Structure 1
Amino acid sequence: MTGPTDPATPTATSAPSAPEAREPVTGTPDQATALAPADGAARTRRIRRIRRIRRALTAVAVLAAGAIAMAALDSGTRHGYLDPRAADPFGSRAVAELLKERGVTTRVVTTAREAADAAGPRTTLLVTDPDRLGATQRDVIRSAIDLSGGRTVLLAPSSHSLSDLSPGVHTAGDAGTNRPDPGCTLPAATSAGRADTGGGLTYTTALPRATACYPSGGHPTLLVLPTGPTGGDTVLLGSDAILLNESLADEGNASLALQLLGSRPDLVWYLPSLADSDPDTAPSEEDQGLLDLIPAGWSWALLQLFVAAALAALWRARRLGPLVTEKLPVVIRASEATEGRARLYRKADARDRAATVLRTATRERLATLLGVPHTQAHDPAALAPAVSARLTGEPRDVTALLFGTTPSDDAALVALADHLDALEREVRTS
């Protein structure tokens, strides 16, 4: 009987003697010739794989560098709420640009001392968040209000800061969300008309010469108070909506903002920093979410990185398509593959697996010779009678031979292979 046509099927010669099984497989000259191109092909594939990985890493690095650069550039124009450098909806870059066109120079400061030093008779000092200031900072700003002789604009100060920054003024409650009429003779208000001063605070005062505008619920949302002996004044604005980019074009917001902030040639835009915060009123880090702690601009960078990663995954993903033939780098003879498989079985002491493979291959070939359907090739009730009918001579237990138990030792495995070979040869010749 010749060896089974299946390369994975061991034959009787697949079970070598014990000394031979213990010898390392060094390979014949033909095997060495076949393995040399195989090693070269493997090395070539490895080099190509490394090059692909390097190209992918280079592309990712370039995308990451671009995203970081864009985030850095973007963070230079996104500074936060009411920042004159911020172009987002809640920044104030639009009003700063309009003031610049009218010859007003805007300077941004972040500490009370800088704001007080910059204040003067030709300046307008805008304090964007008076309630954030500590007691010391409020005293510094109050001194600047009294001595500078310029204009000071306080955005939405509450009772927390009014007692120090504008004594004699008190909050009267929350303003409605409507856009009230001026209701006063202040030139800036009458020329602007209706403005978006609602949604903030209203004030009340008994101070003389106070000008009250844009009433809501009977109380003004805008107060103009003369301060100091040098002709300065203080403007209390209950809402900051007229300065935001998103609402500057509504109603008379732009006109009112330009007139309140552009009455002097210099504008000092004071954005209180954490150093100027009152510990009792400063926002706690515990109250801030994770997204609040991310610097402006980095959210866009993360989004860009996610999109780049998704595109790279689509680019490098395996695409399903029709099967194509591929020329193998080396061809190995079936006898060599069979011998190698047999040595592995011998090393693992897998007589059960070897016997199963031998019997399975023999049953399939016998079924083909006898015309037994392939689906019944492994059914003893269908295959054994067909085989027995083709045999002559002494009766034999075909079922035990084709579907029997596992050989107990290597000699029994060799004997099984011989018997299967003889059985198939007799069926072929009958």
Structure 2
Amino acid sequence: MTGTTAVPTTSASRTPGQIWQRTRGVLLAVLVLVVGGVAFAAFQSGGRHGRLDPRSPDPQGSRAVAELLQDHDISVDVATTLAETTAAAGPDTTLMVAGPNVLTAHQQRRLSAATTESGGRTVLVAPGRDSVTRLAPSVRAESSGPVAERSPSCALPAARSAGTADMGGVHYSTDADGATACYPDARHATLLVLPERRTGDTVLLGSPDIFRNDRLDKQGNASLALQLLGSRPHLVWYLPSLDDPSAAEPGSGNPDDSDNEGGGETSFISLIPSGWLWGALQLTVAAALAAVWRARRLGPLVTERLPVAVRASESTEGRARLYRKANARDRAAATLRAATRTRISPLLGVSPRDTESPEILLPAVAARLSIPGGDLGTLLFGPPPADDAALVLLTDQLDALEREVRTS
């Protein structure tokens, strides 16, 4: 315990090759994430836009229909906030809402109020049940179906002129007088035109496929899209954004707002845009699936031989170094004394449970060796050593005592 020795390298130490094998999976995953992030940033910075964006040349974008409208002297403006959209609404404007389901309930009510008073045309793309309730109260969103080639089966001039088109998605029904239901599927319309409101009207489309770049040249999609969006000289293409300030506006100031009846404070959840909630849910599901996947790889418990066998001397030497580093002479001395008492007790006929009792163990040792009990008490149950030299002396004395007991 007093000497300073170098810590030996045992076979349990990992080699650089073993460390690489254990960490290469994590490093590869980090590398993939970094490369993916850089590629995504480059992709975004290359002027590409999202789905149904009139500026996007991607297959899911709508740049082709926007350029066709401009060729027919229809001005196309993109709006990403509710304030821009409502300010542009008017009798000579068609308002195209590309993502009505992304809007909060408060935003949908404001949009409905603005379009009702505008006198223009409003085109809603695939609004769901909750969105229809606020944006077109007289309409019900029924079940959904696949997008397929469908015939108009209605008297709407735009539909009859376009003929067969790729329609489907959300199905709609209404009891409103004068509504025109086109491209039916299972007795429900996939294109619904509501009666005029102050010289304006509302068009509900169950699917956005006729506006996509990769579908515009199919069937009568181009004709139908141009007629639905080109009925007014001005088109406002509304792409709802999650960072729109109006998404966080509370509706407590409106006594008719059923989401916050009676005024007061709104809940924290109601201030979070629906897109973020869906994103959090998807991340939770992905994390659960990853946990299940990793758990299956562990497999059942099996027994196997250890790769190395650690000698008792190495364990003793390692513990001694820890005691010396912590200056734990009291712990070391207590361990040495307890081990000596345990080994000599069977030779003296003392029960192992009585090794901690000086009244029983010391008389038995004294009778065996004829040594004064006071010296034995100090040796086997005395105070901790004051320094390392005293600890070494105690070790030698305990060894001598044990040898005498064995040979006597």
Q: TM-score, normalised by structure 2?
A: 0.51
In structure 2, distance between residues paired with 1:288 and 1:98: 37
* Structure 1 residues 49-108: Cα deviation after superposition (integer angstroms, max 9, x where no partner): xxxxxxxxxxxxxxxxxx99x948x73531101100011111110100111100011110
2:210 aligns with 242
2:229 aligns with 261
3-state SS, counterpart of residue 60 of structure 2: coil
1:108 aligns with 78
Q: Which runs of 5+ in 1 are unaligned?
A: 1-66, 290-430
In structure 1, distance between residues paired with 2:273 and 2:59: 29
In structure 2, distance between residues paired with 1:226 and 1:113: 26
1:226 aligns with 195
2:131 aligns with 161
Give me the identity figure in percent: 52
Are 2:150 and 2:166, in contact at CA under 8 Å, matched by a contact in 1?
yes
* Structure 1 residues 135-190: Cα deviation after superposition (integer angstroms, max 9, x where no partner): 22112211121111100000001111111110110012112332110000111000
Letter in 2 for 1:86: S
* Structure 1 residues 5-30: Cα deviation after superposition (integer angstroms, max 9, x where no partner): xxxxxxxxxxxxxxxxxxxxxxxxxx
Q: Which has the larger radius of gyration?
A: 1
Equivalent in 151, 155, 171 of residue 202 of structure 1: 171
Higher RCO, Cα 8 Å, sep 6+: 1
Q: What is the CA-CA distance between 1:134 and the residue it aligns to?
A: 1.0
Q: What is the CA-CA distance between 1:280 and the residue it aligns to?
A: 6.2
2:67 aligns with 97
In structure 1, distance between residues paired with 2:88 and 2:154: 31
1:281 aligns with 274
3-state SS, counterpart of residue 166 of structure 2: coil
Matching of residue 117 in structure 1 with residue 87 in structure 2: yes
In structure 2, distance between residues paired with 1:225 and 1:219: 14
3-state SS, counterpart of residue 137 of structure 1: helix
Are 1:152 and 1:234, in contact at CA under 8 Å, matched by a contact in 2?
yes
In the TM superposition, 1:382-421 aligns within 5 A as none
Are 1:77 and 1:87, in contact at CA under 8 Å, matched by a contact in 2?
no
3-state SS, counterpart of residue 150 of structure 2: coil
In structure 1, distance between residues paired with 2:46 and 2:87: 26
Aligned residues: 222
- Of residues 270-279 and 254-263 in structure 1, the stretch that sits farther from structure 2 once superposed is 270-279
Return closer, same or farther for 1:182/1:144 CA change in 2, 3 Å cut-off: same
In structure 1, distance between residues paired with 2:106 and 2:280: 25
3-state SS, counterpart of residue 149 of structure 2: coil
Are 2:103 and 2:273, in contact at CA under 8 Å, matched by a contact in 1?
no
Q: Which runs of 5+ in 2 are unaligned?
A: 1-37, 248-269, 284-408
In structure 2, distance between residues paired with 1:263 and 1:77: 29
In structure 2, distance between residues paired with 1:227 and 1:151: 9
Runs of 4 or more, structure 1, over 4 Å off, are none
Are 1:210 and 1:226, in contact at CA under 8 Å, matched by a contact in 2?
yes
Are 1:176 and 1:216, in contact at CA under 8 Å, matched by a contact in 2?
no
Q: TM-score, normalised by structure 1?
A: 0.49
* Structure 1 residues 370-422: Cα deviation after superposition (integer angstroms, max 9, x where no partner): xxxxxxxxxxxxxxxxxxxxxxxxxxxxxxxxxxxxxxxxxxxxxxxxxxxxx
